[in-house]
Amino acid sequence: MESLNDVRIHDQIDHWKSVMFLYDSALKEIKTKIEILNSEFVHIYGHTPIEHIKSRLKSPESIVKKLKRIGQDVTIQNMVEKLNDIAGIRIICSFTQDIYQIADMISQHEDVTVLQIKDYIRNPKPNGYKSYHMVVSIPIYLSEGPADTKVEIQIRTVAMDFWASLEHKIYYKFEGNAPATLQAELKACADMVDMLDDKMFSLNQMILSLGHGE
């Protein structure tokens, strides 16, 4: 015969599985919408703006660690209410200009509610980090009815993503306390990434104008 404590543990496990099922379903829904938008973008503008799409669910260890870091008790309720990035989609674009068009097209979906926007492209972090972040909510239709579920969407260029990957490695290598010289070099690289994005966009515009002239 199961004890009351065993029943509670089983209930918590079932609740956890149900919540993670919602986040996984939300990732699939958003990813499908983005893939359709990409096809529509090609139809309207004549080029593919999205290089690739990455999706991920935070691991239980990462969820616990983040809740503790922000001073919250480790509960499923706090996980759902306090964390916005349990389900995450990263969209890698060709050019900076594509980022805002894609973000606008996502926000225009009737069943997508934009909860938060952080524009680190127009307002980069002090270390040079650039990316466009959206937290959206999307209903997942279950037998019991719709369940609104949050997904964080990050949109950045290939160059921004390359820089962010290196910065991420450095952050964890030095536990957020990298030497000042390394931080300065990283910021200098961020400035070069910015120039590269501008140059690549200008080059693409030149190619398009030459093509139209033929």
User: The CATH number of the domain where 80 resides is what?
Assistant: 3.30.460.10
pLDDT at 7 (0 to 100): 45
Task: List pLDDT tens digits, range 38-76.
Answer: 888 788 877 788 999 999 999 989 999 999 999 999 899
pLDDT, greater one: 169 or 108: 108
Tell whether 71 is covered by a domain: yes
Tell whether 51 is covered by a domain: yes
**Best-predicted range by mean pLDDT (1-10, 109-118, 202-211):** 109-118
Tell whether 57 is covered by a domain: yes
Active-site entry in 152, 167, 175, 185: 152
Angle at 141 between CA 136 and CA 145, to 5 degrees: 115
pLDDT at 84 (0 to 100): 95
Which structural domain range is residue 14 located in? Answer: 4-158
pLDDT at 200 (0 to 100): 86
The set of residues, in sequence order, having a beta carbon less than 8 Å from that of 117 and lying 6+ positions away, is 103, 132, 133, 134, 135
The HSE-up count of residue 72 (CA atoms within 13 Å, CB side) is 16
Task: List pLDDT tens digits, range 5-44.
Answer: 544 565 677 888 889 999 999 999 999 999 998 888 788 8
Number of folded domains in the chain?
Answer: 1
Tell whether 173 is covered by a domain: no
Only one residue has tokens 């590269």, namely 196
Tell whether 126 is covered by a domain: yes
Tell whether 212 is covered by a domain: no
The set of residues, in sequence order, having a beta carbon less than 8 Å from that of 72 and lying 6+ positions away, is 78, 82
Tell whether 195 is covered by a domain: no
Tell whether 170 is covered by a domain: no
Decide if 152 is catalytic. Answer: yes
Of 2, 160, 140, residue with least CA distance to 94: 160
